[in-house]
């Protein structure tokens, strides 16, 4: 099993380009099921999750061809409306095939999803919404089984009980082929939702309001093909910016969308980082901060445009070395503090109080062997290892490979001493 070996206390300097967003690529790939015409995606990240969903789609009969950062998907001859547990168990986002299958073919059998053990992410809102659109949906022996007795979904007003990104995406895709108008209230506003809507519109869908809490979809008879460039990965960008601050470095991330990171950038400034940016780049300069350390900054996770739960572990690593104490409150997932004990092994001082961590900054961390527990926890440990004194070994980095495209190579180009051990 692969590991990462990091020799820390080396400030990061230089420039890198952001990869395409995992959380945009997956629903865009699933959307290929809505059309018999080919979908061509550019800027696709080379990630385990992307490969996994590609295998799921191929198992259904979708022709999936990849060349570098380009992926071509052609769902003209879908043989199976079935996503088996063996493929779905490693990735929660695989449930995104449910809406497109039901909308286009009137039936689907999709395993309940798996993935990182960071807490419950129930699919009840997906099921509730599909039922409101006229589908008959049951859960049988670990599978979501859906059919459309009338032959075609019917538009409806759907108000979700909670904000759910994949739920919003699934229902938006399903509604594109429904008869009549669908309105999704309490919709997720993430940039990845808006990116999916942008491609669906290229395919011929009629969608208004994507990126707001109210999305209106007018169903059409059929969707066509499209070519689309995947939006940059704001979480990858944020991870590198946090690494720059933690190591007191100076890095620029190109090919990104700074406005997608407003909440994080505000916190980095509050911590003392000097931040500059343009239309498609951000620079974090932390090597000339006044004082010896960053300032401790409290954060509270919330849905977009708030502080992303996917940035909580990375920012906690910054706070571990900051001057003062900070509170990190997690409101999205109930089990997303599993990285805390691993950070403590590196010398961090963190106390968990319910859904809040109290982080007392220390002057330095010391290298140790730690274990990654989920995708973003892995990234937090990498940041801590980059800043720590001595050698850090991070085990179980297959989690990291699910969401970061060649992270060790990008960090190496910024001056980090990091290598993969096989």
Q: Among all residues, which ones are annotated catalytic? A: 116
Distance, CA of 179 to CA of 103 (rounded, Å): 10
Distance, CA of 115 to CA of 72 (rounded, Å): 25
Q: What is the DSSP letter of 186?
A: S
Distance, CA of 206 to CA of 219 (rounded, Å): 7
Cβ-Cβ contacts under 8 Å for 113 (sequence gap 6 or more):
88, 89, 91, 92, 93, 94, 95, 123
How crowded is residue 377: how many other Cβ atoms within 10 Å of its Cβ? 29
How crowded is residue 131: how many other Cβ atoms within 10 Å of its Cβ? 14
Distance, CA of 37 to CA of 86 (rounded, Å): 28
Distance, CA of 356 to CA of 327 (rounded, Å): 6
Under 8 Å between Cβ of 327 and 360: no
Distance, CA of 233 to CA of 240 (rounded, Å): 11
Beta-strand pair 250-254/13-17: parallel
Helix (H, G, I), strand (E, B) or coil at 270: helix
Is the Cα torsion angle 409, 411, 416, 417 positive or negative in sign? negative
Distance, CA of 330 to CA of 269 (rounded, Å): 21
Is the Cα torsion angle 202, 207, 208, 209 positive or negative in sign? negative
- DSSP one-letter string for 238-268: HHHHHHHHHTT-EEEEES--GGGGHHHHHHH
Q: What is the DSSP letter of 21?
A: P
Rg value, the chain, Cα: 22
Q: What is the DSSP letter of 178?
A: S
How crowded is residue 20: how many other Cβ atoms within 10 Å of its Cβ? 26
Cβ-Cβ contacts under 8 Å for 354 (sequence gap 6 or more):
none
Beta-strand pair 417-421/206-208: unpaired
């Amino acid at each position: 099993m692969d590991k990462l070996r990091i020799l820390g206390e080396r400030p990061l300097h230089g420039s890198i380009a952001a990869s395409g967003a995992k959380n945009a690529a997956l629903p865009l790939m699933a959307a290929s099921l809505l059309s018999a015409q080919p979908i061509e995606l550019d800027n696709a990240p080379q990630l385990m999750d992307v490969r996994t969903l590609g295998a799921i789609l191929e198992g259904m009969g979708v022709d999936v061809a990849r060349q570098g950062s380009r992926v071509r998907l052609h769902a003209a001859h879908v043989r199976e409306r079935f996503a088996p547990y063996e493929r779905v168990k490693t990735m929660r986002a695989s449930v995104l095939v449910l809406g497109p299958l039901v909308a286009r073919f009137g039936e689907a059998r999709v395993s309940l999803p798996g993935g990182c053990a960071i807490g419950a992410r129930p699919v009840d809102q997906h099921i509730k919404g599909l039922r409101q659109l006229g589908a008959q949906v049951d859960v049988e022996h670990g599978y979501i089984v859906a059919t459309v007795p009338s032959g075609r979904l019917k538009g409806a007003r759907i108000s979700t009980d909670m904000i759910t990104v994949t739920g919003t995406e699934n229902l938006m895709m399903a509604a594109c082929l429904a008869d009549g108008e669908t309105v999704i209230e309490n919709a997720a506003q993430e940039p990845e939702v808006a990116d999916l809507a942008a491609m669906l519109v290229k395919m011929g869908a009629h969608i208004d309001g994507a990126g707001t809490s109210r999305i209106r979809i007018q169903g059409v008879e059929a969707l066509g093909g499209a070519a689309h460039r995947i939006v940059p990965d704001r979480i990858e960008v944020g991870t590198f910016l946090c690494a720059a601050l933690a190591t007191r470095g100076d890095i620029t991330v190109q090919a990104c969308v700074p406005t997608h990171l407003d909440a994080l950038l505000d916190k980095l400034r509050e911590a003392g980082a000097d931040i500059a940016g343009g239309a498609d780049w951000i620079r974090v300069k932390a090597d000339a901060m006044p004082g010896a350390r960053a300032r401790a900054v409290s954060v509270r996770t919330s849905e977009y445009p708030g502080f992303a739960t996917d940035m909580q572990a990375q920012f906690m690593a910054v706070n571990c070395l900051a001057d003062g104490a900070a509170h990190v409150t997690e409101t999205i997932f109930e089990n997303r503090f599993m990285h805390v004990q691993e950070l403590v092994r590196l010398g961090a001082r963190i106390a968990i109080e319910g859904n809040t961590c109290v982080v007392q900054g220390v002057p330095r961390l010391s290298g140790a062997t730690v274990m990654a527990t989920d995708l973003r926890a892995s990234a937090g440990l990498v940041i801590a290892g980059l800043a720590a004194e001595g050698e850090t070994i991070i085990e179980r980095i297959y989690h990291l490979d699910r969401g970061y495209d060649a992270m060790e190579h990008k960090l190496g180009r910024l001056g980090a001493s990091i290598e993969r051990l096989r």
